[in-house]
Amino acid sequence: MLCGMELKVGPFDPALHIRSRDHYEAILREAQLAAMGPEAPPRRLGELVERLRARFPTSPADEVAEQAYVAGEPTFTARYTIPDELVPAALDACDEVEALLEELDRSARAGEHGLLEAPEDVKRYRSEYLAQTRAQLRGASGPGRPPGRSWSVAGLLLAGLGLAMFPLGGLVGVVCGAIARDKGDRDLGLVTIVVSVVSFAASFFVAAAVLG
């Protein structure tokens, strides 16, 4: 079971997304071909991209934008799930990406490394994309949603299934509650465990009553 926050970005112009992607992919190719030092912004961008790909779930934004573009749709919206425990790291990644892309722009304006500065519409797009992402991540990591909350909620839902003659729901609910407590949602996680245990036991009484 995958528990986490759903991140939604959009609606955006698919053609603009593709132009933005192509611009930065060209920079990454140039960084591989040219003899740039390890501190050059294009080289560091490539390293950052690899680190983020290794740590976070793959965003479907490229695929969704491509499909929308081919279909002639004016906008696209992409959704994907980020595990709760990765939300703080994802917020840090937004800041790191933004700072490095701004450094790339300054480097291009200074005529360094033969780079082309990002067009203004690409800059606006990346700014809005990051702003949407950052706002949702901050909401998910706020004081009202401790790490592990999604596991607690999932466990409570499964405990409800236990009352519908599905004992496995109560058992899995106990596991979800334990995971929630381990991830930081200690109070509601404990409630989930207790409710799930009661649900597991009650499921047999409910079944006996229904079956006569």
Q: Are 182 and 193 in contact (CB under 8 A)?
A: no
158-194 pLDDT, tens per residue?
Answer: 767 655 545 676 777 788 778 877 777 777 878 888 8
In angstroms, the CA 182 to CA 186 distance is 7
Q: Quick one: 53 exposed, middle or buried, by C-beta within 10 A (0-12, 13-18, 19+)?
A: exposed
Task: Provide the pLDDT for residue 85.
Answer: 82
Question: What share of the chain has pLDDT > 90, as a percent?
Answer: 35
Q: State the pLDDT confidence band at 1, using cuts at 50, 70 and 90.
A: very low
Top pLDDT among 10 and 183 is at 10
Q: Can you tell me the mean pLDDT for 39-45?
A: 86
Q: State the pLDDT confidence band at 146, using cuts at 50, 70 and 90.
A: low
DSSP string, 60-123: -HHHHHHHHHHTT-S-EEEEEEEEGGGHHHHHHHHHHHHHHHHHHHHHHHTTGGGPPPPPHHHH
The one-character DSSP state at 38 is T
Task: Provide the pLDDT for residue 212.
Answer: 56
Task: Provide the pLDDT for residue 60.
Answer: 93
Q: Which two tokens stand for residue 170?
A: 């109560």
Measured from the Cβ of residue 22, the count of other Cβ atoms closer than 10 Å reads: 11
Top pLDDT among 120 and 39 is at 120
Please say if the pLDDT value at position 71 is more than 90.
yes
In angstroms, the CA 204 to CA 164 distance is 10
For residue 10, give the H/E element and its range. Answer: strand 4-12
Q: Can you tell me the mean pLDDT for 181-209?
A: 74
Residue whose token pair is 């919206």: 77
